[in-house]
A and B are shown apart, each in its own frame.
Chain A
Amino acid sequence: MTRALRLLRRRLVGSVFVLLIVVIGSFLLLEAAPGDAVDAYIVSTGGDAGMIELLRHRWGLDQSELTRLANYLWALLHLDLGQSVTFSRPIRDVILERLPTTLILMGSATALSFGLGSALGIYAGARPGSFRDRFLSVGSLALYAVPGFWLGLVLIVVFAVDLRWLPIGGIETIASAKTGFSRAADIATHLVLPVSALGFIYLALYLRMMRASMAEAWRQDFVLAARARGLTRGRIVLAHVARNALLPLVTMLGLQSAQMLGGSVVIESVFAVPGLGRLAQEAVAGRDTPLLLGIILVSAVLVIVINLLVDLAYAFLDPRVGAGEASA
């Protein structure tokens, strides 16, 4: 328990520095961008020199970079994410509106790839080198090699347009006034395709990892001992080999959390899902610096929390892991 606490403290202190680097780095990157929020805005409106000056002044873009960075950090200290330029609303509200969608999408996709991936990995790894092993690992790799947006487009054409089994996009039937269970069912139907597109891509990671750790585990002493005790192959696989192989998969889960969010940018755009990834893309296109900073910050916190949970879980699951080692 104290070990876990020590890990927690160490992580929290480190996280503050990490977040500071992330914020300042992102700010500088965005400031280096050609064109600002006003340039992005007038694309669709046009306007004369006076109007442009007016907008720059109203949006505070006529202040120096340093002033704006200082203002931003100062506001951040008070847990204020600031005001979005493009939405003219508090960024906290804009992000909170999108966060649940992305969490559901990412959570379901992770569950799918983790669950199905490790199950198939166990199935494949139970008989290393067999046909099913080779078929599954090459097949999952092929899925991993398919660009996510392309998989998404094909899924839409087949399941939404031709077969009409599922909706083409969005997070729920628009303006349907559904509530409670029927709304949940509605959201679930809408999520099937995007979750599949996102989840199947990462399936290979877990499948191959599970398979590899199982192949490794077969050679280890405790499995040999179990075999010597005459346990059935099935029981060995589930009780010893697979359980032991689960640990590195949990680590992978933490590492992948950041990648998933990146992958969801494209998937959310293809499936018109109003999530954080698409918001980030809009923030970049609209040069909405504070909004993008807010999104990056929130996703960074998310990633840090997930990894912390993974490490804590790891520390509980495997007593051999020291707190210091886990931070590397």
Chain B
Amino acid sequence: MSELTISRRGLLAGSALLWASTALPAIAFAQTPKKGGRLVLAADSEPRNLNPAIVASNGVFFISSKIVETLAEASFDGKDGLEPRLALSWEGAADGLSVTFKLRDGVKWHDGKPFTSADVAFSALQIWKPLQNLGRTVFKDLEAVDTPDELTAVFKFAKPTPFQLIRNALPALSSVVPKHLYEVGKIEDNPANNAPVGTGPFKFAEYKAGQYYRLTRNDAYWSKDEPYLDEIVYQVLPDRTSAAAALEAEEIQLAAFSAVPLADLDRISKVPGLKVITKGYEGLTYQLVVEINHRRKELADLKVRQAIAHAIDKDFVVRTIFLGYAATATGPVPKNDPQFYTADVPTYPFDVAKANALLDEAGYKRADDGKRFALKLLPAPYFNETKQFGDYLRQALAAIGIDAQIVNNDSAAHIKAVYTDHAFDLAVGPPVFRGDPAISTTILVQSGIPDGVPFSNQGGYKNADLDALIVKASETLDAAARTELYKEFQKKVAADLPLINVAEWSFISVARDTVGNIANNPRWAVSNWADTYLES
């Protein structure tokens, strides 16, 4: 979707004649969106804080992105992979010290007040920078936001900040909330955190704990005629098997974020009236990673890490655990990233004999019982697949004489054990790639991160070269040069294996045939759904 489509739609609404006669792209013609209807979909968790400006996470976006909008959204065909939302354009200064946003005119908050640059300034300075989980890193050098007029916001940075990074951060980190509601009292205690107010196509209506969230149509949405739906209802279904049953029983029309287990997809794709959609998550790639505690002397040895990498049959993992709905990984940037990915890195083909030889070379001979040494393996409990991969990894390690004992923790205990107590040898983690390595990828290998920071290097790995490279890339303003540095970064990580990247996966949606305009952007499940519709 671009500006072009929006204006075309405006035209369309005006004349029925145009409808039939203009040479519309076939796709737009075939999918004439219908107005009205209630979309019911499955939600497997209940985020308490629904303010996406404070909590930039997919669980919150899934609901809040329909209510609170960002400056820009990810796009399949837009320039730099972006399309405008609250901002119409964005431009970085050559010195990297400022970025200028031109904002959309005529936008109103759900309570009727006008949206202005003051809201953007307030959100950026008072929320993204000091409070937001990801913004605290990306906007750490943001010093001021100038508002020369109501529709211009100029971000001023204390240190040169790559425009490429800011741009890549826009879809996830730039949710704008109303200043007039947040400027009184403590931001963290604001009631709007639980009943968000935004500029988006849907308004927050109600939340019944343990049952549902309900959003209703924003009649005053800035994009004329949108949204198409009257209501969106998120039905809370905590059990992993119930989403599939609810779809089949026609109680819900959509299950996103792989709420239907992968193993059930083949069967459910044959159910009449249901479709399985693999698109629409390109911008939300999760990585299957073996985290390594380099404090263990065996694991501090590169040969041992190489042996483990060779012992993992990545094709088996993709085929059997992900049933093909994933890709094998080569390094810390996923293959589907259009900007940074390079395939030119050292690889570790599945080779048990070589792995055994490497371990022998490293001096860890098999004892009489065939075992070389024992390890503690902690698979993250958040996904079925991470747990299953833990089971697989245990078997793969057994084949090369490493005796891994799995420690099964719930989420809180896992976070504490791995990221605060470092009570692990190997862990299986699902870090998220957020479109730019500087947002949440480099911290997986960078040294000097304090204890207790989740999804960061807590394995005691320290590589001065790599640290220097990460710092240099974070200060490089030229996009091409910066991209080159991150390619170098991928090579170094793949060569030294501070962690082992095994696979990359996105999610799957299952929907009834009647749901239209699904998966039309790379972050579809967490985008605003203004153009989603239901056929009667």
A-to-B contact residues, CB < 8 Å: 33-37, 39-40, 42-52, 58, 86-88, 94, 97-98, 153, 156-157, 160-161, 164, 167-171, 174-175, 269-270, 272-275, 278-279, 284-287
Contacts and interface: CB of A to CB of B under 8 A. Distances in A.
A169 B42 CA distance: 12
Contacts of B56: 45
Interface stretch (B93-101, B273-281, B412-420): B412-420
B48 interface: yes
B220 interface: no
Contacts of A98: 209-210
Interface string B245-276: 11011010000000000000000000000000
28 contacts: A34-B413, A34-B421, A35-B411, A35-B412, A35-B413, A39-B415, A39-B420, A40-B411, A42-B133, A44-B60, A46-B133, A47-B453, A48-B136, A48-B453, A88-B48, A97-B209, A156-B242, A157-B245, A160-B249, A161-B248, A174-B208, A174-B212, A269-B239, A273-B210, A275-B210, A279-B210, A285-B410, A287-B412
Contacts of A161: 245, 248-249
B432 to A, nearest CB: 8
Contact of A285 (B235, B411, B417, B455): B411
Given A94-B209, A272-B239, A43 B454 contact: yes
B48 A174 contact: no
B236 interface: yes
B48 A35 contact: no
B242 A44 contact: no
Contacts of B209: 87, 94, 97-98, 274
A280 to B, nearest CB: 12
A34 B416 contact: yes
Q: Which of the listed residues A36, A46, A274, A275 has the most CB atoms from chain B within 10 Å of its own CB? A: A46
Contacts of B410: 284-285
Contacts of A58: 188
B393 interface: no
A87 to B, nearest CB: 6
A161 B249 CA distance: 5
A45 B133 contact: yes
A20 B515 CA distance: 55
Contacts of A156: 242, 245
Q: Which of the listed residues B47, B189, B241, B421 has the most CB atoms from chain A within 10 Å of its own CB? A: B241
A14 B248 CA distance: 52
A46 B242 CA distance: 28
Contacts of A284: 410
A33 B188 CA distance: 27
Contacts of A34: 409, 412-413, 416-417, 421
Contact of B48 (A36, A51, A87): A87
Given A272-B239, A279-B210, A49 B412 contact: no
A47 B454 contact: yes
B147 interface: no
Nearest to B40: A174
Can you list the 7 inter-chain pairs with the closest CB atoms, starting with the nearest? A274-B210, A35-B412, A35-B416, A40-B412, A47-B133, A49-B450, A34-B413
Contacts of B189: 88
A273 B236 CA distance: 9
Contacts of A51: 131, 133, 136
Interface in B382-414: 382, 409-414
Given A45-B57, A174-B40, 9 more contacts: A34-B421, A40-B415, A45-B55, A88-B48, A168-B246, A169-B237, A274-B211, A278-B210, A286-B412
**What size tier do the contact residues of chain B reach?**
35 or more
A120 B131 CA distance: 62
Contact of A272 (B134, B214, B233, B236): B236
Contacts of A157: 245
Nearest to B42: A272
Q: Which of the listed residues B136, B417, B454 has the most CB atoms from chain A within 10 Å of its own CB? A: B454
Nearest to A153: B241
Q: Which of the listed residues B133, B188, B409 has the most CB atoms from chain A within 10 Å of its own CB? A: B133
Contacts of B236: 272, 274
B336 interface: no
B59 interface: yes
Nearest to A50: B136
A39 B410 CA distance: 11
Contacts of A285: 410-412
A282 B248 CA distance: 27
Contacts of B136: 47-48, 50-51
A313 B238 CA distance: 39
A44 B45 contact: yes
B452 interface: yes
Given A47-B453, A94-B209, A272-B239, A33 B412 contact: yes
Given A44-B45, A46-B133, A160-B249, A272 B411 contact: no
A160 B245 contact: yes
A34 B409 CA distance: 9
Interface string B462-497: 000000000000000000000000000000000000
A58 B186 CA distance: 11
B520 interface: no
B204 to A, nearest CB: 13
A51 B233 CA distance: 32
A15 to B, nearest CB: 29
Contact of A175 (B233, B241, B420): B233
A45 B137 CA distance: 14
B347 interface: no
A286 B420 CA distance: 17
Given A87-B48, A160-B249, A161-B248, A171 B211 contact: yes
Contacts of B223: none
Contacts of A272: 210, 235-239, 242
B453 A44 contact: no
Contact of A174 (B47, B233, B451): B233
A161 to B, nearest CB: 5
A47 B238 CA distance: 25
A143 to B, nearest CB: 21
